[in-house]
Amino acid sequence: MLTHSQIWNAIDALAARHGLSTSGLARKARLDATTFNKSKRITGDGRPRWPSTESVAKVLEATGDTVDAFISLLGPEARGGPRRVPIIGFAQAGAGGFFDDAGFPAGEGWDEAVFPGIGDEQVYALEVTGDSMHPLYRDGDMIIVSPTAQIRKGDRVVVKTQSGEVMAKELKRRTARTLELASINPTHDDRVLQQTDVMWMARILWASQ
């Protein structure tokens, strides 16, 4: 089965093969420069946005690559093989410079860890510190987070606020104005945040314990 992450992984790899950024690849194909931006790969309501077959065709025409060459760029990592993912401490995640506005890893200071069977090329890992997420996540555990995964009620998520606070909670309810979050640790209060106070929210996919 062809996945959302495999397609985007191949587009990123195609751009790199030709020494281009994804914006440069889009311009080369006479598309809007933001067509392949990472922030545009998920819709505002959390659904995956797929590149159109027309945009892929224009990219292949512009670069002179074949469909077979494009398929080959899906690669073993996109099919779920072991891959390196960026990792930082949970406390560091609250500092500026580590994420872009959409919650994707950015800047420097990231370490790397190898995890098996992860097909989403946008995932990263956070190392848990303290007991605020007991009993589900313990101090020293690694949680794998995806800024592109669709988020539904009941999913466990990491949320970063505009003030720099980073928290792991369970999504109880999301409206156009507010975000209701249940605390994983029963000794911590649930939270209700204004959407305008939320910088980004990413789904927790997996934890190493």
Same domain? 49 vs 146 = no
Same domain? 201 vs 161 = yes
CA end-to-end distance (rounded Å), the chain: 29
pLDDT digits (tens, 9 = 90+) for 70-120: 877 775 544 445 567 888 877 677 777 778 777 877 777 788 776 655 666
Quote the number of domains for the chain. Answer: 2
pLDDT digits (tens, 9 = 90+) for 185-205: 888 889 999 999 999 999 988
Same domain? 69 vs 103 = no
- Residue where a domain stops, chosen among 52, 77, 102: 77
State the pLDDT at residue 58: 93
> Would you say residue 26 has pLDDT above 80?
yes
Same domain? 12 vs 65 = yes
CA dihedral for 129, 130, 132, 133, sign (positive or negative): positive
Same domain? 55 vs 114 = no
Looking up residue 141, the CATH number of its domain turns out to be 2.10.109.10
> Would you say residue 16 has pLDDT above 90?
no
- Residue where a domain stops, chosen among 45, 61, 77: 77
Same domain? 156 vs 71 = no
Looking up residue 48, the CATH number of its domain turns out to be 1.10.260.40
- Residue where a domain stops, chosen among 77, 105, 131: 77
pLDDT digits (tens, 9 = 90+) for 121-149: 678 888 888 777 778 888 888 888 888 88
Task: For residue 148, give its domain range.
Answer: 85-208
Q: Work out the pLDDT band at 1, boundaries 50, 70, 90.
A: low
| pTM of this structure | 0.58
Same domain? 113 vs 184 = yes
Same domain? 61 vs 96 = no
State the pLDDT at residue 78: 45
Same domain? 164 vs 91 = yes
Same domain? 72 vs 91 = no
How far is residue 143's CA from residue 168's CA, in Å, rounded to a whole number? 10
Same domain? 101 vs 189 = yes
Same domain? 134 vs 40 = no
